Structures are given as C-alpha cells and as structure tokens.
C-alpha cells in the first residue's frame, strides 16, 4: 500500500516540474508581429453568353405519298440510302393515264390544224370581200355607161320620131329605132336589178344595221365592208382558238397526271422508313416512304426561360460535338414561341453553318450562343 502511494506522489511531482519548465520557455520566446490587410474586388466587363446542350437533328421528315393510282414498278432505295434532290424515288405504272396523255396530244394537234384552216378561210374570205367590192365598183361604172348609152339612144330615137313625123323616115326605120330604145331600156333595168341584188350586204343600210357608222372615207368604208363580209369567218377562228386552248388545258392536265406517276425527292435526304415494295398496288394518298431532309442540320437545345429572353434569330454560336471532338459555327434560327410548362425551358434550334460527313442525327452537342452584349462581373 505504501509503495503505491509513493509511486503516485512521484508522478504528480514530475508533472508539476514539466509544467513549470514549459511556462518558462514560453515567457522567454520572442514574439513577432503578424501583418494584416484588406482585399478589394475589381469590376470587369465580359461578353454575355448562353450555354446549353442538346442533340443534332435534321430539318424535317417528309412522307412521300402517291398522287395517282397504279402499280409500283420502280422503288430501288433501301432504308438509310442517301438521296439527292430531284432523284427519282419511285415510278408508278398506269396505262390508262399514258393513253389519256396520247389522246390529249392528238386532240391538240387536230385543234391546231382546225385553227390553221379557219385562219386560211378568213384570209380567203377577206380576199373575196375585196374582189366583191371591186366588182361592185366596176359594175357601178358599167351602170353609168349603160345609162349614158341609153340616154344617147333616147336622144337619137327622139330625132328619128321627129323625122318620121316629117316624112323623113319610113315606118320600118322608125320601128327599128323604137326597138333599139326599148331594148336599151330593158337592158338597163335588168342591169340595175342585178346590181341591186349584188349590193345586198354592202349597202349603207347594211352597215348601219350591223351597228357601224357609215364612213365618209372610201378606204374606211371598204374596211368596214370587209369586216362585215368576214364576220362569220372571224367567229369561226375565235371558236377554233378556244378549242385549241381547251385542248392544251386537257393536255396539261393529262401531262400532270402522267408526271405524277414519277415520284421525285423534293430535297437532299436519307431514306427513313420504306412503306411499300415493287409490285404493290397503290392509291392516291398512300405513303410510299418517309425521308429525312438533310438540307439543314440543327443543334436542338433547351435553355431556361430567363436565357431565352436574351436570344434573337441570327445570333452566332459555337457548337461542340463531343464524339467527334469538333467545333463548328452555327446561328440561332428558330426560337420556340412557347415554354415547356413542366421544365420551364424553351426549345432553340441553332442552324449548323457547316456540316461534316460524320455528323449524324441524335449526336450529343454542347453550344455556346454569343448574345453580343456585355455584362459586369466582380473578380
């Protein structure tokens, strides 16, 4: 027991001695002053950008439909095939449409011939009208000549009558004179009647009845008479022209139907889904295939509503494609007019100004859109 007490006392004594020693060393140590200062932040201007991520997507998907009924005789492209704009995707066989086109072309040819014939008849009719007018003018000159001849015969007969009364002519001589006068008068009357018949349609009253004014000028009157004489022929030409227009319209309709039997790609594309095969019968509206347009490639991003307010169409962007380790230039093209109510984000489509052969729809991208404005930050 005593031994334990002695050991405890020794331990306590050693502790006290160690404590005192340490206190002396601390009081003897030299104290050095510590320098203290204040750090102030600096304001800097940096370009405001909007960063987001998304995926690549082509411009649009198009369903290629059939416009005419028939059997598919050509549809060579498989899913994934690259198709250039204007390339024939499919051909539909319909013999009835082909026959209809040939018939329409024949009708146009016949209508063209009919029109040419009508124009020829009109030209001939105008010539005939001129001949008729000239003949009437000649006949009127002859009428004047007959009137003068008749007047001269009347004068001679009057003289002969006086001579006969005075006994200067025999009865036989006066009878001959009288016969000549009667014959001349009858000949004049017949000629006047024939001329009157020939003048029908060329008289002043005929011009007035047709709704024209009687021209005072000779050449103008002649032109009006030719128009009256050939009016029906001009109507025939107008009918032939209308028939040709109708025939050509039918031909264009048939040609359009025939052209629709050949289905072409409206843009550069990739064959997506192929719905029909060669030999199948199709009707208007049936979907042949679905193609994915490759004329434009977009980076489709989702940005916050707050960031969307900073964006405008045409703003430049850097698009980084992770899997290709490539950065290409882009431009903001489409801003969705509505926000997603669930996520509070707005869809933004950035048009890739350059495309690489390895770029595929669905690839992950990151984009930085430069707004062109500056903002202040404290550094």
Cross-strand partners of 53: 366
Q: Does domain 98-253 have CATH number 1.10.287?
A: yes
Q: Which CATH architecture has domain 294-378?
A: Beta Barrel (2.40)
Every domain range in the chain assigned CATH 1.10.287: 98-253
At residue 80, the pLDDT reads 85
Every domain range in the chain assigned CATH 2.40.30.170: 294-378
Contact 286, 65 (CB under 8 A): yes
At residue 16, the pLDDT reads 45
At residue 314, the pLDDT reads 93
- Measured CA to CA, the distance from residue 132 to residue 137 in angstroms comes to 9
At residue 251, the pLDDT reads 96
Global pTM reads 0.60
Identify which of 230, 236, 367 has the alpha carbon closest to the alpha carbon of residue 303. 367
For 286, list phi and psi in degrees, rounded to 5.
-65, 140
- Which secondary structure element, helix H or strand E, spans residue 154, and what is its range? helix 95-165
- Measured CA to CA, the distance from residue 82 to residue 134 in angstroms comes to 77
For 313, list phi and psi in degrees, rounded to 5.
-60, 135
DSSP state of 358: T
Identify which of 325, 326, 332 has the alpha carbon closest to the alpha carbon of residue 52. 332
Cross-strand partners of 352: 330
Number of other CB atoms surrounding residue 34 within 10 Å: 5
- Measured CA to CA, the distance from residue 318 to residue 364 in angstroms comes to 14
pLDDT in tens, the chain (379 residues): 333 434 444 444 444 444 444 444 444 444 545 555 555 566 667 788 999 999 998 878 889 999 999 999 999 999 888 899 999 999 999 999 999 999 999 999 999 999 999 999 999 999 999 999 999 999 999 999 999 999 999 999 999 999 999 888 899 999 999 999 999 999 999 999 999 999 998 888 988 998 889 898 889 999 999 998 899 999 999 999 999 999 999 999 999 999 999 999 998 888 989 999 999 999 999 999 999 888 788 999 999 988 899 899 999 999 999 999 999 999 999 899 998 888 889 999 999 998 887 888 889 999 999 988 877 666 6
């Amino acid at each position: 027991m005593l031994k334990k007490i002695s050991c405890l006392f020794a331990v306590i004594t050693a502790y006290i001695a160690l404590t005192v020693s340490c206190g002396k060393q601390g009081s003897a140590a030299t104290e050095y002053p510590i320098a203290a200062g204040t750090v102030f932040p600096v304001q800097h201007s940096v370009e405001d950008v909007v960063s987001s991520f998304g995926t690549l997507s082509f411009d649009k998907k198009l369903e290629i439909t059939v416009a005419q009924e028939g059997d598919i005789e050509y549809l060579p492209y498989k899913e994934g095939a690259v198709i250039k704009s204007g390339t024939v995707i499919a051909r539909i066989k319909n013999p009835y449409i082909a026959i209809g086109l040939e018939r329409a072309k024949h009708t146009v040819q016949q209508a063209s011939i009919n029109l040419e014939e009508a124009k020829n008849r009109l030209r001939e009719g105008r010539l005939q009208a001129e001949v008729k007018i000239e003949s009437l003018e000649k006949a009127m000159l002859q009428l004047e000549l007959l009137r003068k001849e008749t007047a001269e015969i009347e004068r001679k007969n009057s003289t002969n009558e006086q001579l006969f009364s005075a006994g200067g002519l025999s009865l036989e001589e006066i009878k001959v004179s009288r016969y000549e006068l009667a014959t001349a008068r009858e000949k004049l009357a017949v000629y006047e009647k024939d001329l009157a018949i020939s003048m029908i349609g060329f008289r002043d009253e005929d011009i007035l009845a047709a709704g024209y004014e009687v021209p005072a000028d000779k050449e103008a009157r002649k032109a009006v008479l030719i128009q009256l004489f050939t009016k029906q022929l001009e109507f025939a030409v107008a009918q032939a022209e209308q028939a040709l227009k109708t025939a050509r319209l039918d031909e264009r309709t048939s040609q359009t139907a025939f052209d629709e039997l050949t289905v072409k790609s409206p843009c550069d594309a990739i064959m997506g889904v192929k719905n029909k095969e060669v030999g199948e019968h199709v009707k208007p509206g049936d979907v042949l295939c679905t193609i994915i347009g490759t004329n434009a490639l977009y980076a489709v991003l989702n940005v916050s509503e707050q960031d969307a307010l900073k964006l405008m169409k045409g703003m430049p962007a850097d698009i980084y494609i992770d899997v290709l380790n490539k950065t290409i230039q882009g431009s903001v093209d489409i801003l969705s007019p509505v926000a997603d109510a669930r996520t509070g984000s707005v869809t933004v489509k950035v048009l890739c100004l350059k495309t690489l052969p390895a770029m595929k729809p669905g690839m992950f991208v990151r984009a930085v859109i430069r707004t062109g404005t500056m903002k202040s930050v404290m550094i």
